[in-house]
Amino acid sequence: MADSVPLNRLVTRLLILVLAMFAFGFALVPIYDVMCKAFGINGKTAGQYEGSQVVDPSRQIRVQFLSTNAIDMVWEFHSRADEIVVHPGAVNEMVFVAFNPTDKPMTAQAIPSISPAEAAMYFHKTECFCFTQQVLQPGERIEMPVRFIVDRDMPKDVKHLTLAYTLFDITARQPPVAVHTGG
């Protein structure tokens, strides 16, 4: 009987530990978002934007474009140009190209990031391929535009920013696609 008391205590502690680990895993994403915002890392863009602004021709901001594939992504993925110079308030466009070299349909999702992080809230996308999943058939190549405005309120000391996309293969998370065989 004396052995059952320490065993019950051990089981109770292990159950509490399992519950704490589950709670931590559940709260990890919100904690991560708060930490990134607090420390100014992983600059997420401000999201879809539909405002109109007056162009400030007196200022120029260099926008650099980076495209990266996640480890399991085999697509070719790049922007038409490495960088452009824009005026705050002007609507701008860059085209990204994706190519599926495999013999299977694939689905991808692009995740954007802006640096420096303080510029993210002044970078507004009006159209972006990152808003939707991209499905490419075997051997298919597509052009995907991103239209954006750099806000006139961008701090004057920011003269360069980088828009980076990471392309993820999310094919396994999608329901199977029916293939039409004709007839």
- pLDDT tens for 110-166 read 999 999 988 988 999 989 999 899 999 999 999 999 999 999 999 999 999 999 999
Residue-averaged pLDDT of the chain: 85
| Distance (Å, whole) CA 113 – CA 120 | 8
pLDDT, residue 123, reads 92
Please compute the mean of the pLDDT values over residues 83-100 and round it to a whole number. 96
Tell me which CATH code domain 61-173 carries. Answer: 2.60.370.10
pLDDT, residue 20, reads 86
pLDDT, residue 49, reads 53
Please compute the mean of the pLDDT values over residues 92-114 and round it to a whole number. 95
Name the least confident of 28-32, 39-43, 58-62, 91-95. Answer: 39-43
pLDDT more than 70, % of the chain: 80
